[in-house]
Chains A and B, each alone.
Chain A
Amino acid sequence: MAKVPRNFKLLEELERGEKAIGDRTVSFGLADGGEDIYMSNWNGTIIGPPHSVHENRIYSLQIHCGPQYPDSPPVFKFVSRINLPCVDANGNVLGAKLGCLSQWKAQYGIETVLQELRREMASSSNRKLPQPPEGSTF
């Protein structure tokens, strides 16, 4: 397969993110007013999954895609406070504790990670974890 260079992969992801993805349970777009030609910084949101403490909550994240993306995974940080085993006390998503980040593949994208984070929220061991007040930020 042809290897899609970083910038063209990010442009594809941007176009996908701008259209509705599936049921809109996760979404993402460029930060910095969409002016950064290298598309390094992104915003993401996750709608809390049903039948969990996260139901009806909206979580915001900051996402950074470095120069080595997609050979290296993006870096994720929650802006909305959340209590999850794969998120540290400052909101950073711990790569070692999230499967798609620890086993990162270049064909994954921002959406892959947001969807897996959402599945983490809904997992049987996490869905009842006590959470900080809704709307509070790191």
Chain B
Amino acid sequence: MAMSKRILKETERLNAEPVPGISATAHEDNLRYFDVIIAGPSQSPFEGGVFRLELFLPEEYPMTPPKVRFLTKIYHPNIDKLGRICLDILKDKWSPALQIRTVLLSVQALLSSPNPDDPLANDVAQHWKENENDAIETAKLWTKNYAK
């Protein structure tokens, strides 16, 4: 498989200088496909949780953004039932100057600052807007039950 130097460089750096609370491991049989683990940020409803994600670099990467989704169930207004993430840099705000590292940092930051005004999971967003404390309790409960 033709692999761009850029992907190899990014992978090397992810291994050599890992980001705190984030790990990304390439599949041996597909170096564009990564198993990702993100630790729930402290002082968020996801604290203490271990979240599994998958990330894929399409053929056109870095001209097109990586594809990322959660495999661990999570109660978050910007993440839907299939783990798809609503994040601008994964769509129209993508720039080839961004990297796997910056994408995963942005996902981690999204866990700290849910944005119910730009929802992907409508029922969760509504819950968040109507009763934020109660929604946060649900998010904590899901973290405890699923993000182990």
CB within 8 Å of B: which residues of A? 1-5, 7-8, 11, 14, 34-35, 37, 39
Are A2 and B82 in touch, CB under 8 angstroms? Answer: no
Q: Do A7 and B54 form a contact, CB below 8 Å, given A2-B32, A37-B73?
A: yes
The 8 closest A-B pairs by CB, nearest first: A2-B59, A5-B33, A8-B56, A2-B32, A8-B67, A35-B81, A3-B30, A5-B56
Contacts of B27 in A (CB 8 A): 5
- Where chain A touches its partner, the secondary structure class is loop
Are B32 and A34 in touch, CB under 8 angstroms? Answer: no
Are B1 and A3 in touch, CB under 8 angstroms? Answer: yes
Contact-residue bracket for chain B: 10 to 19
Are A2 and B57 in touch, CB under 8 angstroms? Answer: yes
Distance in Å: Cβ of B31 to nearest Cβ of chain A: 9
Contacts of A8 in B (CB 8 A): 54, 56, 67
Interface pairs (30), CB distance under 8 Å:
A1-B59, A2-B32, A2-B58, A3-B1, A3-B30, A3-B32, A3-B33, A4-B56, A4-B58, A5-B27, A5-B30, A5-B33, A5-B54, A5-B56, A7-B69, A8-B54, A8-B56, A8-B67, A11-B67, A11-B69, A11-B84, A14-B82, A34-B81, A34-B82, A35-B81, A37-B71, A37-B73, A37-B82, A37-B83, A39-B82
